[in-house]
Amino acid sequence: MVKICPGACLVLSDMSLSEKMNAYFRLTFLAAVLIAEICAQPSTASDFILSSCRKSQIQLDLPAEHVLGKQVRFSAIDQDGGVALITDGLATQCGYKISQDDWGNVVFRGSLYSCYVQIQNDTYFTVQVKIEISSRPDMVGAEVYIKTVSCPYYWKPREIFCETNYMEVSVRRKIPLIAEGIFRDEPEDWAAAFDEAVVGLMSIWQVVFHKSSTQKISMLIDAAQERGYGVNTTDARTLLRSSYNATEAVFQKVDAVTFSTLRATLFYKQRWFIFLIDNAVACPVDDVKFSPGWITWTIPKNISPLLVGAKVLQKSSSQFGLDLLDLTNADILSGNYDVVDGAQATTVRIPMGADGGYYKSHVVNQEHGVTYSINPFLENNWVDDGWGVTKYTIVKDITTPFEKRPPIITNDTVSSTLIFSVTIGNFLPDVYLVNVTIGGTTFPVPEAIKTGYNVTSRIHPNGTSEFVLKVPFTDPRVSFKSLTDGLLFTLNVTFGFNIIPHDETFISSTVVQCFVPKPTAYCEQENGMLSATIGNLDPAWNVYIKDVPATTSNGMLASGNATYSKVQIPAQSDLVAHEAVGGSVAATIPINIKDGSGSTIYSIVAICDVPPIPVVCQPNGTIQVTVKKVADIRDMDLSQLVLRDRSCKPNQVDSNNAYFTFFADSCQTLRTFQQGFIIYENQVTYSLSGRILFIMNVTCNYTTNGTVVIEDYKPYDNPTPSAQSIMASLDLVLRLSKDDSYTDFYENMDYPVVKYLRDPLYFEVELLYSSDSRLELFLDTCWATASPEMGSLPSWPIVVNSCEYGEPYQTIFHQVTADSRVQFPSHFKRFEVKTFSFMNGDQPYTGSMFFHCDVIICDASNLSSDPVCTGIGSCIPARQRLGRSVNSNEDNIRSISSGAVYLLAPRAESYMQY
């Protein structure tokens, strides 16, 4: 198979030599016709081996994907089919170089004057190489490829090539004019004297190395080759090749740069002449220096060992390039290279990271770092009076020293997300995250992702990458410590990395901590519900009130999002506790925050922003009561509040609160025993002119072990004078009877009814329009006022707490019996009022008077069914009620008022009569 690639380079491969030669000749004649066709041929197995002609070299490129991890062997094939394995020594001696970069790409280079090259007219060179690739060190089963590459090249009179593993100089032999008379007379003598010179048509016969001006080492050509030197002649040139450390080479400084130099005089014969030619080669060895970010390469201009006895006449400019390919000035500029072609030296500065080179990650002493590699060359040309034109080329494989690059671990955790976020970077693309060890457990990356950890890689525009690991705080492998004001979460993570292609491994560990403040709870009260907003919550946590989970289905979870929850419970719930907070007592919600497994992470108490709880039962038996001013009672004088023992008054009063403190065995506190509890009860009342406007029952339940249970305290804030005025849908009537027969009543038009003070007033209250015999009407409170408004002052009590009231002349209840008018006696109540009992100062009141009653409707057959009615009706004879219990639902209390009654003062004597 034959293939022609653009660029003056002929590739012949996988053919026998004769085939190739045939092909070559065919091509020579038909090239113009065939090129297009040949290039369209299907690719062959060895097509992955790219060949090219570069300067005075042929190059084969074997991409890493075909050779990585395999043994690759090159052999040179000569024109007779002889095969020579290219070892390191042979490479140096014969002008080959085999290298592999960090990625595994293999590059083979051969000098156009390498040992087994086929040369035509010193301008056309064909190198044939056998390539064996095997995965086994013993090369068994190797794939074998033959590559033949031909390159034309036009040599300068002297060319020096400093390859990394050898130095080579080729010099054009001047075909001297045969000097008249020299040796002509006695040719046989020369032939007889130098047998060796007769062996070939043209050959080198002897080499004299000039180690110094005094030390010269002379040897026959075979001996020189045995010592590793490459010495040969071609049609028009001589060649000398040497390693840098050859015995006959010397190290020598030129402008502070050390060169390995070798100078030799070759004796060769041509026809029957012996000629001498001086060969000198010098290549720098310490010309590359590293500084942070830069590679500096300095090559002196006048390399004295190459200019023995000569003077430089003209310097032509330098050519800089990479991988033996020229860079244009524009390339140099855009690559930020700095090439200074000075009079004394050419200095090249290469920025680390420049295009054309590459970074590579490595691990040295378990530490991660990078190197940067680049393969530049520099070509200088000059003209001197000894050698004519010299082309001087140096190629370098530069790798910067290993530079530690400890991975940078960034803690990107945002504590409110409750997810650890750790970034590690920056890495070259050859670094792979293999595994992560979280809290001691190692997960290969795919497994870590399956386990729920988020592992992602982020690739920057410049090709570097970083890895991001996310681990929720609630992960079982995250440890946490409870501190007084929150939790400290700790993530121990180790990242395990692998560097391709050589499986170098390293690890990087870190400990990331994040403090999360304790959840906060803010509590509010509205409409008898306490609601607590709990912040700093993890969505994976569950909120409990005491031991009851707060859920939407049980109504305790009101709302929330990822980081907060709002819970609510009725203020009277058993789950609400009470705690003394800053001198007063507050309702508190005990909140437990548990993780998925049910273990408590936090116990916090939401202190509710509600008015102080009015009753505190201290374990020592002290009862503290706070009574807030009742807004409905105008001008309420808190100092007038009393307990059952009316001598027990508030210990302290401020503008809004009255505070009682008393012992359970004082102030007429009632004591009962019930189911293991001792129940103490008392009552705070507020009376005005004998009328009770406010009652608050105080109960303390003590268990025998001294624990306090508080229940059933509720301000009794009704009735108050401001009880809402007569309702629009009046279903009650308060009538004034003309006498105690309750048969004749004053009509609307009779008002105001005028009475003398000594006249009793007979009132009747009726529930209208009802035929429900089970209902019974009770009078809760009746009172008189001087003006029509129920709440106006002065006011005088008539019925208090459902019982007759009045000193010294009590209100009298009258029996109601059925008659033609009274169908349901229980729908009526009658009472008699002594008008002169209303005092105005020390005088009985005279003038307009209005009468009012608060009325309660109860179930006559079962009074205890309604707490308001319980115990009612014990003020005999009228089956009035005795008192009221607590927790009343006030809906069945109605108010009613009479029309005006005008009281006239009787004569003084008649007044005294009573």
Residues at the site binding ligand NAG, with contacts judged by CB under 6 A: 115, 117, 119, 121, 123, 225, 232, 243, 245-247, 353, 411, 413, 415, 426, 434-435, 442, 454, 456, 460, 462, 464, 496-498, 505, 507, 512-515
Q: CB 119 → ligand NAG: shortest distance, Å?
A: 5
- Asked if 558 and 531 touch (Cβ cutoff 8 Å), the reply is yes
Q: CB 426 → ligand NAG: shortest distance, Å?
A: 5
Q: CB 483 → ligand NAG: shortest distance, Å?
A: 13
Kindly tell me which of 437 and 770 has the beta carbon lying closer to ligand NAG: 437
CA atoms within 13 A on the CB side of 482: 7
Q: CB 640 → ligand NAG: shortest distance, Å?
A: 59
Q: Minimal CA–CA distance to 658: which of 676, 677, 641, 680?
A: 641
Q: CB 225 → ligand NAG: shortest distance, Å?
A: 6
Kindly tell me which of 462 and 674 has the beta carbon lying closer to ligand NAG: 462
The CA-CA-CA angle for residues 247, 251, 254, to 5°, reads: 155
Kindly tell me which of 411 and 885 has the beta carbon lying closer to ligand NAG: 411
Q: CB 121 → ligand NAG: shortest distance, Å?
A: 4
Q: CB 583 → ligand NAG: shortest distance, Å?
A: 37
Kindly tell me which of 337 and 495 has the beta carbon lying closer to ligand NAG: 495
Q: CB 504 → ligand NAG: shortest distance, Å?
A: 9
What is the greatest pairwise CA distance in the chain? 195
CA distances from 102 to 63, 88, 430, 502, 831 (A): 12, 19, 10, 8, 116
Alpha-carbon gap, residue 746 to 829, rounded angstroms? 17
Q: CB 154 → ligand NAG: shortest distance, Å?
A: 7
Q: Which token pair is 296?
A: 């500096």
Q: Helices in 725-785 by DSSP H: which ranges? A: none
Q: CB 358 → ligand NAG: shortest distance, Å?
A: 12
Kindly tell me which of 460 and 646 has the beta carbon lying closer to ligand NAG: 460
Kindly tell me which of 123 and 457 has the beta carbon lying closer to ligand NAG: 123
- Residue 202 belongs to what H/E stretch? strand 202-210
Alpha-carbon gap, residue 546 to 553, rounded angstroms? 17
Q: Minimal CA–CA distance to 179: which of 272, 278, 310?
A: 272
Query: Is the peptide bond prior to 760 cis by the omega test (within 30 degrees of 0)?
Result: no
Kindly tell me which of 76 and 339 has the beta carbon lying closer to ligand NAG: 76
- Asked if 246 and 216 touch (Cβ cutoff 8 Å), the reply is no
Alpha-carbon gap, residue 650 to 659, rounded angstroms? 5
Alpha-carbon gap, residue 643 to 656, rounded angstroms? 18
Kindly tell me which of 161 and 660 has the beta carbon lying closer to ligand NAG: 161
- Asked if 251 and 305 touch (Cβ cutoff 8 Å), the reply is no
Kindly tell me which of 123 and 296 has the beta carbon lying closer to ligand NAG: 123
Q: Which token pair is 68?
A: 């990585």
If DSSP codes are grouped into helix, strand and coil, which group holds residue 46?
Answer: helix
Query: What residues are paired with 187 via a beta bridge?
Result: none
Q: CB 701 → ligand NAG: shortest distance, Å?
A: 48
Kindly tell me which of 126 and 393 has the beta carbon lying closer to ligand NAG: 126
Residue sitting closest to ligand NAG (CB): 496
Kindly tell me which of 441 and 840 has the beta carbon lying closer to ligand NAG: 441
Task: Count the neighbouring beta carbons within 10 Å of the beta carbon of residue 579.
Answer: 13
Kindly tell me which of 289 and 460 has the beta carbon lying closer to ligand NAG: 460
The DSSP 8-state label assigned to residue 421 in this structure reads E
Kindly tell me which of 513 and 573 has the beta carbon lying closer to ligand NAG: 513
Q: CB 496 → ligand NAG: shortest distance, Å?
A: 2
Q: CB 70 → ligand NAG: shortest distance, Å?
A: 23
The DSSP 8-state label assigned to residue 424 in this structure reads E
The DSSP 8-state label assigned to residue 196 in this structure reads G
Kindly tell me which of 466 and 866 has the beta carbon lying closer to ligand NAG: 466
Q: CB 432 → ligand NAG: shortest distance, Å?
A: 8
Alpha-carbon gap, residue 470 to 491, rounded angstroms? 10
Kindly tell me which of 419 and 523 has the beta carbon lying closer to ligand NAG: 419
- Asked if 377 and 394 touch (Cβ cutoff 8 Å), the reply is yes
- Asked if 857 and 873 touch (Cβ cutoff 8 Å), the reply is no
- Asked if 337 and 318 touch (Cβ cutoff 8 Å), the reply is no
Q: CB 494 → ligand NAG: shortest distance, Å?
A: 8
The CA-CA-CA angle for residues 892, 897, 901, to 5°, reads: 160
912 φ, ψ (degrees, to nearest 5): -60, -30
Query: What residues are paired with 622 via a beta bridge?
Result: 663
Cα–chain center distance at 838: 81
Kindly tell me which of 141 and 292 has the beta carbon lying closer to ligand NAG: 292
Q: CB 94 → ligand NAG: shortest distance, Å?
A: 7
- b (16+ CB within 10 A) / e for 393-428: bbbbebbbeeeebebebeeebeeeebbbbbbbbbbb
If DSSP codes are grouped into helix, strand and coil, which group holds residue 698?
Answer: strand
Kindly tell me which of 518 and 881 has the beta carbon lying closer to ligand NAG: 518
Cα–chain center distance at 10: 58
Q: Minimal CA–CA distance to 66: which of 110, 106, 101?
A: 106
Task: Count the neighbouring beta carbons within 10 Å of the beta carbon of residue 743.
Answer: 11
What is the end-to-end Cα distance of the chain in Å, rounded? 150
Residues 6+ apart with CB under 8 A from 804: 810, 811, 812, 813, 831, 875, 880
Q: CB 232 → ligand NAG: shortest distance, Å?
A: 3
CA atoms within 13 A on the CB side of 877: 8
Q: CB 143 → ligand NAG: shortest distance, Å?
A: 28
Parallel, antiparallel or unpaired: strands 124-134 and 2-5 = unpaired
Kindly tell me which of 284 and 496 has the beta carbon lying closer to ligand NAG: 496
